[in-house]
Every structure is written in structure tokens, then in C-alpha cells.
Structure 1
Amino acid sequence: MIVITLWFAAGLLMLLITLGLWRIVKGPHITDRMLAAQLAGSTGVALVVLLAWFMDNHALLDVALLLGLLAAISGIAFAKLLRPKQVSNINRSQTDHVSD
């Protein structure tokens, strides 16, 4: 019974990766592509964890941890890429000062 559940979960995760990759290719906006890449990374980590549990291989858990870290770093890189180029600076000479 547990093997059937594992195969069902792996199939659903593969479907999620397929849909995420489709959204990366067809995404109308860069933010859609970014979120789909995050989905694919997280789902890939879940697949590696399922594979590690199915094969009883603890080294694959280290691989899953590394993939999760890589997914987080890529999310930060995407966010830095998408932020506005110029951040407005506050002109301190024009700000209201509270006088005592």
C-alpha cells in the first residue's frame, strides 16, 4: 500500500514539474516564469526526498538539501533582478524637522 502511495505522489509531483516547465516557457510575464521556476525547484526537492525514502538512501537527502538551498538562492537572484533599477533617495534637506 505504501508503494502505491509513493508512486501516486511521485506522479503528481512529475505533473507539477511538467506544468511548471510549461509555465516557464509560455509565461506571459517574467514574474510568472520566476514563480514557475521556484515551483519546479521545490517540487524537484520533494521528488528527491521521495526517491531517498523509497531507495532508503540517506545520501539523497543531502542532495535534496542542496537543491533546496539552490532554489532559495535562485529566488533571491530573481528578486534582485526584478527590483527597480533606481531606488528613490530621500532628500534630507527637504524633510520636515520637528522643532522643540
Structure 2
Amino acid sequence: MVAFFLALALVLLITMAVGLVRIVIGPTPADRMMAAQLLGTSGIGVLMLLSTALGIPALIDVGLIFALLAAVSVAAFTRRRVGQDQA
């Protein structure tokens, strides 16, 4: 079962690499933000899988903190975009 979790973590790392490429070449800021969200979500998934596979429960706490930071970053991005559209 550990090997299965590690294989899933590897798949998520590959999706993170694709998201990183999208951040670099994204045509609009919204595309870049969505790719950053993909990185955050995949990173949380990797942390959860590694926590289960390696038996390190502290990684769950780190993943939850990352989830909170991701939500705050999206709220800040949308608030900034709305302010720019009104100006």
C-alpha cells in the first residue's frame, strides 16, 4: 500500500510540473492564478499521501495550513482584480 501511495504522489508531482509550466507561460493573470491553485491543491494532496505512506502525522497539519493559505491567496487575488476592473 505504501508503494501505491508513493506512486500517486509521483503522479501529483507530475501534474505540479505541468502547472508550473502554465504559470510561466500563462497568457492572463487568471490563468496563472488557476495554475497556482493547481500547485497548491496538488501539493496538499502530496503531503496527505506522504503523511499516510510514511506515517508522519505532522504533514497533515502542514497540508491544512497550506489549504488555508491557498484560500486566502485566492480571496486576495479576486479582491485585487475587482479593484482594478473598477478603476
TM-score by length of 1: 0.79
In structure 2, stretches of 5+ residues that fail to align are none
Could you list the structure 1 runs, at least 4 aligned residues long, displaced by more than 4 angstroms after superposition. none
Counting aligned pairs with the same residue, the percent is 40
Structure 1 partner of 2:46? 47
Name the SS for the 1:83 alignment partner: helix
In structure 1, stretches of 5+ residues that fail to align are 88-100
Higher relative contact order (CA 8 A, sep 6+): 2
Superposition pairs of residues 65-84 of structure 1, within 5 angstroms: 65-84=64-83
Structure with greater helix percent: 2
Structure 2 partner of 1:56? 55
Deviation at 1:83, TM superposition (A): 1.4
- CA separation in 2, counterparts of 1:47 and 1:61? 10
Aligned residues: 86
Within the alignment, does 1:16 sit opposite 2:30 as a pair?
A: no
